[in-house]
Copies of this chain bind each other. A is one copy, B any other.
Amino acid sequence: MAGRCRRLSVGPWGRDLMAAVDAFLLDCDGVLWDGPRAIGGAAEVLRSLKERGKRVFLVSNNCSRSREEVAGKLEAWGLAAGPGQVYTTGRCSALYLRRAFAGPRRPKVYVLGSRALAAELRAAGLWVSGPGEEELPVSRCALDPEVGAVLVGYDERFSFVRLAKACSYLQDPRCHFVATDPDPWHPVSAVAGSKPSNLGDEDKEPRGPLTCTVRPGTGSLTAAVEAASGRKAKVIGKPSRFMFDCINEMEAGTPLDPARTLMIGDRLDTDILFGANCGLRTVLTLTGVSTLQQAHDNLASELPERRRMVPNFYVDSIKDFLPLLAS
């Protein structure tokens, strides 16, 4: 069922929708926060959902923040969410790899990614190789014979040597090849500690010298590894439905009913397509990457793959849910 991209507002549609769904899946970056800052109303909406007995899960393609960190942010908002409700690609990659290493011997994972990603794997009982001798020239860089998987994530320490090591491990066809998410790039604002970018004009700080306007995403780093190894990665994050299956595996007693679940996100190519892939209703929020124009362009397109990237509804911001939930 393709979406029609209607504005979600107080009125019959909005009321019916709030009554018809009992589970909310929310993306984080661009939905609840913009870089390090909370988006206005996000805490209130989450509190209101909880008060109304709705189930809430955070589903994030960002593998640089640990679940604990995300849960900590929620706690600071007065929400005792607990890390169990937070599904990052780091957590889901660990679940995937534990299943992939089915035998008694559990090989090591070579991680191109943040320390938080490595910590998530270790917390799941996996062995991580490295950080190794990445400062050495590539000709003297030793490989770890126990590596049985390469996991590519968002990696600000990505380098030629790391790429060479990943591709060398992947020469062995038994070596698993997993990527946390397909995001090709990120606006600078989505990366913690960087300057905000896509806020309204009144929020813009005066600019110093011109700095990088985009950050390469995991999809970009994965493309390099795929080209040099001649292999394709298994991609964990949205829009693949793997993360939805992870939630239902963890919530085995009370799995989510797709017909009664709403996905809220800021990216058409990941969040909204994820919703379509899982049979959920979707809401695009305009505080992140995708624009309303892009959603309308997809709606007008004759290509079926673009029609799948049309949300059922859109809102200017997460805070537009407040009057809906109060009504």
Contacts and interface: CB of A to CB of B under 8 A. Distances in A.
User: In the assembly, how many copies of this chain are there?
Assistant: 2
A214 B167 contact: yes
A69 B140 CA distance: 24
A211 B137 CA distance: 11
B156 A214 contact: no
B159 A158 contact: yes
A216 B157 contact: no
A291 to B, nearest CB: 15
Contacts of A137: 156
Contact of A185 (B191, B215, B228): B228
Contacts of A171: 213-214
7 contacts: A143-B211, A159-B160, A160-B216, A168-B214, A171-B214, A184-B230, A185-B228
Given A171-B214, A216-B228, 18 more contacts: A137-B156, A138-B156, A141-B212, A143-B211, A158-B160, A159-B160, A163-B216, A164-B214, A164-B216, A167-B212, A167-B216, A168-B213, A171-B213, A184-B228, A185-B229, A216-B227, A217-B228, A220-B227
